[in-house]
């Protein structure tokens, strides 16, 4: 029952997709600070390598950059082949990589729709599918492996912003999480989702010119999410403390969804 045992994740191996910035970086940092070896992915090689070095130096831990494009089957296959060449197994897979696309309803393009759906939904299914043998290798009833899919409150509520594929994709992520959880729990792989509200990120920042003051004023907690908020929830789900949580979609949003009636349009 001690905290050091309930929330211990040290010695584990994790993959965090989209791990070079935003929520992915927060999750990677939380793992590294607590003794997890972390592989991070992103498309932009230089920025990814720089971030991995920064995090490795900051936490005195192994953060390994793997540049790849997970929106394509070829990119996923290359990544899985690389992981198989480096590790016998993995313990945690955090499916965080995502994209958005905003256009008016009458002009919303197939290119934007497909880009969002391919990365936000299809890649989660196929990357998890391809990594299942590595996830299951050392998983046991006492110490299961974990998959965490990063959804969004925009998949729980109807947003005002015209990013039609994004909210739709995140709702799909939430339901896909439940479907995958049912299939994989028998292999001692626990699948859950987190639905973040407003956190500092390039995606949200670009939409509000990196001025979060209005978003903060509308939030029941009167602030946006912090790295500790996201890292703490992920560590809970990946530790002994979260070993009985399966197929859940957990909002991390300061109360936007739970207290209802608040405008989620900027989330």
User: DSSP letter string over 189-246?
Assistant: EEEEEEEE-SB--HHHHHHTTT--HHHHHHSTTSS-B-HHHHHHHHHHHHSGGGTT--
C-alpha distance from residue 123 to each of 25, 36, 98, 191, 201 (Å): 19, 24, 9, 15, 21
Residue 127, pLDDT above cutoff 80? yes
Q: Tokens 């959804």: give the residue.
A: 151
Query: Where do the domains of the chain lie?
Result: 3-259
H-run or E-run covering 15: strand 13-16
| More reliable by pLDDT, 208 or 64 | 64
Give the rounded percent of residues in the chain with a pLDDT score beyond 70: 94
101-109, long-range: CB < 8 A, 24+ apart: 101/163, 101/165, 101/166, 102/161, 102/162, 102/163, 102/166, 102/207, 103/162, 104/162, 105/162, 105/164, 108/162, 108/164, 108/165
* The token pair that represents 239 in the structure block: 């530790």
**Confidence class for position 264, pLDDT limits 50, 70, 90:** very low
Selection from 34, 86, 51 nearest residue 241 by Cα:
34
The torsion of the CA quartet 26, 30, 35, 41, rounded to 10 degrees, works out to -20
Selection from 64, 94, 96 nearest residue 82 by Cα:
64
The string of pLDDT tens digits covering residues 151-179 is 999 999 998 789 999 999 999 999 999 99
From the number of C-beta atoms within 10 Å of its C-beta (0-12, 13-18, 19+), residue 184 rates as buried
For the whole model, what pTM was predicted? 0.94
**Confidence class for position 212, pLDDT limits 50, 70, 90:** confident
Is the sign of the CA dihedral 64, 70, 72, 77 positive or negative?
Answer: positive
Mean pLDDT of the chain: 94
Q: What is the CATH number of domain 3-259?
A: 3.40.50.720
CB count within 10 Å of CB 7 equals 16
d(CA 237, CA 249): 11
Residue 262, pLDDT above cutoff 80? no
- Catalytic pick from 39, 166, 199, 212? 166
Is 166 catalytic? The answer is yes
* CA atoms within a 13 Å half-sphere pointing along the CA-CB vector of 131: 30
Q: What angle do CA 193, 196, 177 make, to 5 degrees?
A: 15
What's the gap between Cα 145 and its chain centre?
16
pLDDT at position 203: 67
Give the rounded percent of residues in the chain with a pLDDT score beyond 90: 89
Average pLDDT (12-37) is 98
**Longest Cα pair distance anywhere in the chain, in angstroms?**
56
H-run or E-run covering 261: none
């Amino acid at each position: 029952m001690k905290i050091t045992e309930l929330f211990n994740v040290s010695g584990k191996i994790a993959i965090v997709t989209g791990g070079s910035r935003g929520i992915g970086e927060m999750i990677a940092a939380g793992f590294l600070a607590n003794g997890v070896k972390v592989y991070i992915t992103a498309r932009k090689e230089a920025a990814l390598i720089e971030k991995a070095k920064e995090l490795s130096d900051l936490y005195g831990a192994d953060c390994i950059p793997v540049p790849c494009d997970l929106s394509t089957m070829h990119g996923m296959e290359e990544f899985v082949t690389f992981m198989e060449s480096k590790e016998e197994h993995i313990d945690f897979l955090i499916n965080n990589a995502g994209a958005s696309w905003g256009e008016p309803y009458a002009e919303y393009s197939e290119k934007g729709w497909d880009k969002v759906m391919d990365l936000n939904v299809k890649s989660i299914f196929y990357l998890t599918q391809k990594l299942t043998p590595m996830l299951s290798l050392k998983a046991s009833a006492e110490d299961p492996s974990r998959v965490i899919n990063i959804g969004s409150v925009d998949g729980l509520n109807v947003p005002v912003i015209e990013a039609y594929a994004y909210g739709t994709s995140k709702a799909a992520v939430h339901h896909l999480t439940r479907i995958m959880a049912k299939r994989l729990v028998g292999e001692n792989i626990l699948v859950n989702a987190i639905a973040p509200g407003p956190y500092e990120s390039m995606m949200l920042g670009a939409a509000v010119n990196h001025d979060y003051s209005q978003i903060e004023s509308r939030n029941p907690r009167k602030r946006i999410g912090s790295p500790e908020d996201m890292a703490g929830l992920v560590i809970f789900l990946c530790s002994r403390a979260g070993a009985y949580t399966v197929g859940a979609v957990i909002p991390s949003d300061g109360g936007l969804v739970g207290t209802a009636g608040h405008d989620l349009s900027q989330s």
